[in-house]
Amino acid sequence: MNKFIFSFFLLFVSFIINSQEANENNFPEANYRLASKFSPSNISKKVHSTEVYPQWLASGNKFWYQYKTTEGANYYLVDCDRKTKVKLFDNAKMAKWLSEITKDAYDSKHLPRFNFEFVKDETAIRFRVTSREMVIVKSEEDKAKTTNDSTSNKDSISIKKIKRLKPKKERKSYYLEYKLGSDNLIVIDNSKKKDTFNKWANVSPDSSLVVFTKKHNLYWMDKTNFLKALKNDKDTTIVEHEWTKDGVENFSYSRSNMGISEDEIEKKIDDRKPVYGYWTHDSKKFIFQRSDVRHIKDLWVINSVTKGRPTLERYKYHMAGEQEFPKNYIEIFDVSTKKKVNVLLDTTIQQSLSIYRYSYKKSDTTKHKPTLILSKKGNLYFNTVSRDRKRLDIHVANVETGEVKTIINEHSNVYVEARNKPFYLFNDEKEIVHWSERDGWGHLYLYDAKGNLKRQITKGEFHVDGLHGIDENERIAYFLANGVSKDENPYYAHFYKINLNGTNLKSLNPGDFNSKINLSDSNKYFVSNYSRVNTVPKAELRTTNGSLVMDLEEADLSELFASGYKFPEPFKAKASDGITNIYGVMYKPFDFDENKKYPIIEYVYPGPQTEAVNASFSVRMDNVDRLAQVGFIVVTLGNRGGDPRRSKWYHTYGYGNLRDYGLADKKYVAEQLADRHGFIDINKVGITGHSGGGFMSTAAMLVYPDFFKVAVSSAGNHDNNIYNSWWSETHHGIDEDEQADGSIKYKYLIDTNQTLAQNLKGNILLATGDIDNNVHPGGTIRMVNAFIKANKRFDFIMFPGQRHAFGNMTEYFFWKKADYFSKHLLGNEPTNVDITEMNRDVPKKR
């Protein structure tokens, strides 16, 4: 009997040891050291430029750009017509010249970042640098005092000299010129760059008039007095004129005070403030879009960590479903007569409005670029969107009389999409190109100036995402589109051209990648930056006939790969309907072991205005690559009701069900991935997201409490009844109910996360910033309240003095998130009081 017991004991011990070994072999340990290697600060040392940003020049088809690698930054000049790419200067020579001139040390790999100004018919460049040498500042006031000193008596002179025993100093400035191809650098002068505009000044296109606001009203001054203000903003001889007298708080000509404490508002009540408005091209009219929000209720946040007493921030905030709505006006001011004309709008209708504005040429390097209306002939084009977002109307107003004509109507049973909506006026303003989803896909339509439809330009089951230019002589439109090639990921954008009569659609940069393009003003050339999440980013120059001119750059990822980085893996799966394709990306630990079982975490953002799925290579790794290094499989994926670059059906799938619409797809795709990959542990599923993703990740825990086990939800709009009206009324919907007296009542009903608090089974960490004036912390606090009332254990963190993005506490939040998933998915709970990974590389104070 004893032998039997002993044998059983040995067998039991062997079983325990084998089980422990199996556990050690099959489940990863939290790898904080690996995650810390890929912090934003460390990544910035390994990866530099990944895109070419062309700075187009005015003469010829030329541009310059800077590109940085692990060998330093170089500056290049590209002549498209000549098919040449040369360095703007020799780095070693530039370092030598700068060292000799400034007496500071430079070398070829550590030049400052230059901001060039091309001069002398673009044969030379000018730029500024500052040295370590400190020099006495001599302001205009000082010059005036010096003049007064010379005419005063000796006593006054001695008093003034005493006052100047400690003069103000600043770093010496150098304004330099380099003639391209020459062998020297010339000093133009040592004066500090002068401000040509004050922050409060809105200067007319011809610089003859300056407008600004004071005490909620519109003011103006002429050029002579503005020049005085440039020299000394406090000059008491400056003459300014009050243009309006009807401005009051919350029906003002000043900008919103959102984000400013009441103490600061009071301190600056008499200051000149900027005014945002539109000018006609001839400077004869100033146009202001004014909003009456006096009847909109206030919202507040309190900053408890500011200096002194905690401060209150009060601002107007229109919440979803509220009966009130901002009343919008357009006012036209005549510069010569100073009279005002109102655009004739029906302000009893609840609607938003937007004025179409002029786009400057990319090669226009003039420093003074006031906001101009679209039409050079002075016609005011604008749109109105109904409160329920189902109707968009495009209008043109006469700037002399304010009379309005409606030229284009867009109606839908769901919301009318306004994202990336081009409205292009051309052919001496006789024709219009307009974007619409009226046939279920985003396409371009050609109209005459009176709003008569001439033809649909693009057709088919693909999405036009943005109009980039029109060649008026050749009558060709250039645009980005998704989904033209059915063999590719529909999130990959390519550049196309098509005749305005709808013929000869042609791809200009084909390939299995996503691209961003920058088209020249001449419409002859474009720079294409392209990559996938699993390829090295490249940039090339092409003609708008589609031919390759030259390869420009390939990103230097050598140090990134040397540190152990590995590309993520794109994947395709099915939505829970078994038909719709869902696209996503899988991020693995860089020390991945296929013999281990990994928890899976979904990083989510539901949209519907976008999805949290990268199509191109990105080094913004915190929520995906970097989180995976702790010991997880992290995935991002779309869902029906997400990105508008799919069909309108896909985009609006969640209309009327904004809380739950994407959750079934998130669950079903995770199950498919686990079926495909034995290294995924489908019993350990986490989910995380910020803002709309915070809302979605919490909803997932409550709608599918047996599937999603752990969530970290930050800044979530858990209760959309107290979120802004734009997002939830647009994407969820609001009903207009006409009353017997003809008035309209608005009905808004949406499911909130807190109504499901009793369903919580797993572990959840909620986070918010205490002065978040986008998604108010009240949304998270209501979720906290619901969990407490449901007698649930959960975790909560509030970031003091932080707004929606958590600011300088973002890194701290990453490690709190890592801790939470590590504890509840890996069974590894950090117990050290210090976050070692944050402290390790920080220099200690002496």
Q: DSSP code of 357?
A: B
Residue-level pLDDT at 269:
81
Give residue 191's pLDDT band: very low, low, confident or very high (50, 70, 90).
confident
The three-point CA angle 802-804-810 to 5° equals: 65
Amino acid at 791: N
SS3 content of the chain, % helix, strand, coil (to 5): 20, 30, 45
Cα–Cα distance measured from residue 176 to residue 117, given in angstroms and rounded to the nearest whole number: 10
Residue-level pLDDT at 15:
41
Residue at token pair 């230059």: 114
Residue 248 has pLDDT above 90, yes or no: yes
For domain 564-722+755-839, give the CATH number.
Answer: 3.40.50.1820
Cα–Cα distance measured from residue 564 to residue 291, given in angstroms and rounded to the nearest whole number: 54
Residue 157 has pLDDT above 50, yes or no: no
Residue 758 has pLDDT above 80, yes or no: yes
Residue-level pLDDT at 318:
96
Cα–Cα distance measured from residue 691 to residue 713, given in angstroms and rounded to the nearest whole number: 8
Cα–Cα distance measured from residue 815 to residue 342, given in angstroms and rounded to the nearest whole number: 54
φ/ψ of residue 68, rounded to 5 = -115, 135
- C-alpha 648 chain-centroid distance: 23
Give residue 837's pLDDT band: very low, low, confident or very high (50, 70, 90).
confident
For the segment 552-599, what is each residue's pLDDT rounded down to a tens digit? 999 999 999 999 999 999 999 999 999 999 999 999 999 999 999 999
Residue-level pLDDT at 284:
98
Of residues 397 and 13, more confidence is placed in 397
Q: Mapping DSSP to helix (H, G, I), strand (E, B) and coil, where does residue 239 land?
A: coil
The answer to whether the CB of 432 falls within 8 A of the CB of 447 is yes
Residue 28 has pLDDT above 80, yes or no: yes
Residue at token pair 């998270």: 780
Query: Which tokens in the block code for residue 16?
Result: 């325990």
For the segment 61-113, what is each residue's pLDDT rounded down to a tens digit? 999 999 999 999 999 999 999 999 999 999 999 999 999 999 999 999 999 99
Residue 824 has pLDDT above 90, yes or no: yes
Residue-level pLDDT at 139:
59
Give residue 19's pLDDT band: very low, low, confident or very high (50, 70, 90).
very low
The three-point CA angle 729-767-778 to 5° equals: 50
Average pLDDT, stretch 212-238? 93
Cα–Cα distance measured from residue 111 to residue 118, given in angstroms and rounded to the nearest whole number: 19
Mean pLDDT over each residue of the chain, to the nearest integer:
91
Cα–Cα distance measured from residue 394 to residue 375, given in angstroms and rounded to the nearest whole number: 14
Residues ≥6 apart with Cβ < 8 Å to 113: 66, 73
Q: What percent of the chain has pLDDT over 90?
A: 80
Query: Which tokens in the block code for residue 170?
Result: 């600043």
For the segment 169-186, what is each residue's pLDDT rounded down to a tens digit? 889 999 999 999 999 999
Residue-level pLDDT at 691:
96
Residue-level pLDDT at 743:
86
For the segment 769-793, what is each residue's pLDDT rounded down to a tens digit? 999 999 999 999 999 999 999 999 9
Average pLDDT, stretch 274-284? 97
Give residue 350's pLDDT band: very low, low, confident or very high (50, 70, 90).
very high
Average pLDDT, stretch 260-266? 82
Give residue 404's pLDDT band: very low, low, confident or very high (50, 70, 90).
very high
For the segment 723-743, what is each residue's pLDDT rounded down to a tens digit? 999 998 999 999 988 888 888
Sign of CA dihedral 456, 458, 464, 467: negative
Sign of CA dihedral 621, 625, 631, 632: positive
**Looking at the chain, which residues constitute the CATH 3.40.50.1820 domain(s)?**
564-722+755-839
Residue-level pLDDT at 466:
87
Cα–Cα distance measured from residue 495 to residue 513, given in angstroms and rounded to the nearest whole number: 12
The answer to whether the CB of 616 falls within 8 A of the CB of 533 is yes
Average pLDDT, stretch 424-429? 95
Residue-level pLDDT at 11:
47
For the segment 590-636, what is each residue's pLDDT rounded down to a tens digit? 999 999 999 999 999 987 888 889 999 998 888 899 999 999 999 99
- C-alpha 740 chain-centroid distance: 45
Residue 512 has pLDDT above 90, yes or no: yes
Least confident range of 196-200, 571-575, 763-767, 803-807: 196-200
φ/ψ of residue 659, rounded to 5 = -80, -45
Rg (CA), the chain: 31
- Residue 241: its H or E element: strand 241-242
Q: Give whole-number Cα distances, 338 to 255, 332, 335, in Å.
A: 22, 10, 5
Average pLDDT, stretch 245-253? 95
The answer to whether the CB of 174 falls within 8 A of the CB of 190 is yes
The answer to whether the CB of 699 falls within 8 A of the CB of 659 is yes
Choose among 588, 585, 539: nearest CA to 565.
588
Residue-level pLDDT at 578:
97
DSSP secondary structure string, 264-327?
A: HHHHTTTS-B----EE-TTSSEEEEEEEE-TTSPEEEEEESSSSSS-EEEEEE--BTT-S---E
Q: What percent of the chain has pLDDT over 70?
A: 93
Query: Which tokens in the block code for residue 97?
Result: 């010249």
Cα–Cα distance measured from residue 795 to residue 791, given in angstroms and rounded to the nearest whole number: 13
The answer to whether the CB of 491 falls within 8 A of the CB of 501 is no
Q: Mapping DSSP to helix (H, G, I), strand (E, B) and coil, where does residue 380 land?
A: strand
Residue-level pLDDT at 393:
96
Of residues 76 and 846, more confidence is placed in 76
Give residue 264's pLDDT band: very low, low, confident or very high (50, 70, 90).
confident
Cα–Cα distance measured from residue 46 to residue 35, given in angstroms and rounded to the nearest whole number: 15
Give residue 21's pLDDT band: very low, low, confident or very high (50, 70, 90).
very low
- C-alpha 536 chain-centroid distance: 23
Residue-level pLDDT at 12:
47
Residue 741 burial class via C-beta count within 10 angstroms: exposed 0-12, middle 13-18, buried 19 and up: exposed
The answer to whether the CB of 480 falls within 8 A of the CB of 493 is yes
Choose among 333, 409, 326, 346: nearest CA to 373.
333
The pTM (predicted TM-score) of the whole model is 0.92
The answer to whether the CB of 211 falls within 8 A of the CB of 226 is no
Residue 823 has pLDDT above 50, yes or no: yes
CB burial readout 192-228, b (16+ within 10 A) else e: beeeebbebbbbbbeeebbbbbbbbbbbbbeeebbeb
Cα–Cα distance measured from residue 571 to residue 577, given in angstroms and rounded to the nearest whole number: 18
